[in-house]
Amino acid sequence: MSASLIETLRALVGHDQVLQGEGLEAYEVDWRKRYRGRALAVVRPGHADEVAAVVRACLAAGVTVVPQGGNTGLVGGGVPDASGTQILLSLTRLNRIREIDADNLTLTAEAGCILQTLQEAAAARELLFPLSLAAEGSCTIGGNLATNAGGTQVLRYGNARELCLGLEAVTAAGDVWHGLSGLRKNNTGYDLRDLLIGSEGTLGIITAATLKLYPAPASIVTALAACPSVEAAVGLLNLARTRLGAGLTGFELMGRFALSLVERHFPQLPRPLAPAPWTVLLELAGTDSENQERDRLGSTLEAALEQGLVNDAAVAESIAQSRALWHLRESIPLAQSEEGLNIKHDIALPISAIPGFVDRMAAELERAAPGGRVVCFGHLGDGNLHYNLQGPEGESASAFLAQHEAAINALVYDEVQRLAGSISAEHGIGELKREELAQRGSPVGLGMMRAIKHALDPGGLMNPGRVI
Ligand code: FAD
């Protein structure tokens, strides 16, 4: 059966676009190198119609399909399992920008387009596609939508979901749903677009999307601020919101240990401020000149200094300096992975609950796993923390994980649940958090999710074992 399926797939997408055998780690191992699978074959269609034909062939053969974009996902949802029986469907050849409609402020692109390519295409028309994350040079817009990615501009522009107006997708039956639309208003029944966004490849395969663009801001200025506590950082957020309004586009929190990992693994990066318990990166985008916006940001930070919310601050004097500050922030996940495997939590909390959470957790984790090192950073303006635990210095990371992961997860997620937070703010559920969701999700909500999955994918073809 598998030999005849492979022949069928080669006939559908071309002999060279069906890969088998050794050397497929880039598709079979996830970014964190935590999940290592084995595919029956990697199939690389070039058009939505080819995606649909591949899905129909897999359905007929009873073979399951794992969609994949840039393979930068952090929850193990985009790589095959170890059975060697699944088709890994790579979307990277669907990489055309179909249209930019400057009057309608929309861009229509295929699922395999790299996020950075879309940002650059918009910028070339003096427009902005605001979705931005550290993996933007390799993640795809299809993967961004399938995970409802967040990133660094959510505070002003929202998640991937808020940036998407329409989708084209292949259903689990192998039909193409033509749902591309540049309309801001369209109340015609159930929102199928919203169902597919965030479904992590379990309900269908996104092949193209119509995305919202914005006028490019006239100027963007960035600053770093050293805060004595998370409570002070929240105070700074409130002050910045009041004084800068919708111009505040980024507000990122970085713990001392998170930044020390960057210093250790990327010593060449400049550190404009002395190490502080907490460092905040603020970004202001506006319609005034760069000097005027810099003055607004500077005077906000001066007010924060007077109120004791900030001990020190540095405002970037040029675009190059701004980029360097962002580079510091975006290097944290990379520095962390250089340091070794760690226990990851991508959590959302009401912003008001974050200072108490951070204080209580630090003490509880030290009791539960003495010597564990907390790597805390994230999108404070969105109430989203990456709250990770690295094993003690010099100890085997995998032994630390094996010994402590289950208990640490229980501690962190119990507290998150008590505070009405979420166990997955922006990375999704994938395989990593499937059991956690099954145990902690609302039974009624999970029942509705299973009913939707069964209705849209009755044969369980699409990315089985992920999400639910
Ligand atoms: P993949 O990893 O290939 O796939 C992710 C999931 O989507 C899988 O379940 C897969 O089956 C499914 N999928 C992929 N393409 C499709 C498609 N066309 N149709 C249907 N399903 C599909 N995420 C954030 O939200 N915010 C961040 O700030 C952030 N920072 C990151 C920083 C680094 C350094 C790294 C490595 C990752 C970061 N991520 C972040 C996680 C990751 O980049 C995002 O989840 C991204 O959206 C995944 O896109 P991808 O193309 O790599 O998808």
Q: What is the pLDDT at residue 2?
A: 83
Which amino acid would we find at residue 408? Answer: I
Q: Tokens 């920008």 appear where? A: 97
- Are the C-beta atoms of 277 and 264 separated by less than 8 Å? no
Does the beta carbon of 139 sit less than 6 angstroms from any atom of ligand 1?
Answer: yes
What are the backbone angles phi and psi of residue 383, rounded to the nearest 5°?
A: 70, 30
**Residue 71: left (phi > 0), alpha (psi -120 to 50), or beta?**
left
Kindly list the averaged pLDDT for each block of 10 residues, start to end, along the chain of length 468: 91 98 95 94 98 98 98 97 97 98 98 98 98 96 98 96 98 98 95 97 98 96 98 98 96 97 95 96 96 96 98 95 95 93 95 97 95 96 96 92 95 97 97 96 97 98 97
Does the beta carbon of 205 sit less than 6 angstroms from any atom of ligand 1?
Answer: yes
Burial class (CB in 10 A: 0-12, 13-18, 19+), 23: exposed
Ligand 1 midpoint to CA 149 (Å): 7
Does the beta carbon of 143 sit less than 6 angstroms from any atom of ligand 1?
Answer: yes
Ligand 1 midpoint to CA 204 (Å): 16
Burial class (CB in 10 A: 0-12, 13-18, 19+), 83: exposed
Q: How far is CA 28 from the centre of its chain?
A: 20
Q: What is the pLDDT at residue 1?
A: 59
- Counting from 1 in the atom list of ligand 1, the atom nearest the Cα of 73 is 2
Alpha carbon distance 308, 235 (integer Å): 10
In a mutational test of the pocket of ligand 1, which residue from 44, 50, 131, 133 has the highest number of ligand atoms less than 8 Å from its CB? 133
Q: What is the pLDDT at residue 461?
A: 97
- Counting from 1 in the atom list of ligand 1, the atom nearest the Cα of 91 is 18
Does the beta carbon of 76 sit less than 6 angstroms from any atom of ligand 1?
Answer: no
Does the beta carbon of 377 sit less than 6 angstroms from any atom of ligand 1?
Answer: no
Alpha carbon distance 425, 421 (integer Å): 9
CA dihedral 202, 208, 212, 215 (to 10 degrees): 140
pTM: 0.95
In a mutational test of the pocket of ligand 1, which residue from 28, 31, 72 has the highest number of ligand atoms less than 8 Å from its CB? 72
Structural domains of the chain, ranges and CATH numbers in brackets: 2-90 (3.30.43.10), 97-215 (3.30.465.10), 219-333 (3.30.70.2190), 340-428 (3.30.70.2740)
Alpha carbon distance 127, 124 (integer Å): 7
